[in-house]
Amino acid sequence: MNKLKKVLVFSDKPAQAAELCYGAAQLGEEVLAAVSGDRSAAEKISKYGAGRVFWLGAEQPGAIMEATVPLLADLIRKEQPERAML
């Protein structure tokens, strides 16, 4: 199977990010991870196989996850992954 060039994963939960990174590594040559929430959690994502990690910022109390969508869309436009896993 030919691998995709770039696969982007996004999660606000570290355990899910680990699973997504593993799956992305099976599909793509380069794994990019976009993470929102606690910055320290974002810093740990690289150990799950992400070559580059993009921190989208801390979540504000009471904010809904949809507030992250514009940042994620900008990242997808910039990096142009062949697949995004959310």
Looking at the domain that runs over 1-61, which CATH code has it been given? 3.40.50.720
pTM over 0.85: yes
What residue spans define the domains of the chain? 1-61
- Helix (H), strand (E) at residue 61: none
In this structure, the number of other CB atoms found within 10 A of the CB of residue 1 comes to 5
Between CA 25 and CA 44 the distance in angstroms is: 16
Per-residue pLDDT, 35: 87
pLDDT tens-digit map of 1-51: 699 999 999 987 777 888 999 999 999 999 999 988 778 877 788 888 899
Place of tokens 């896993």: 85
Instruction: Identify the bridge partners of residue 34 per DSSP, sorted by sequence position.
Output: 10, 54
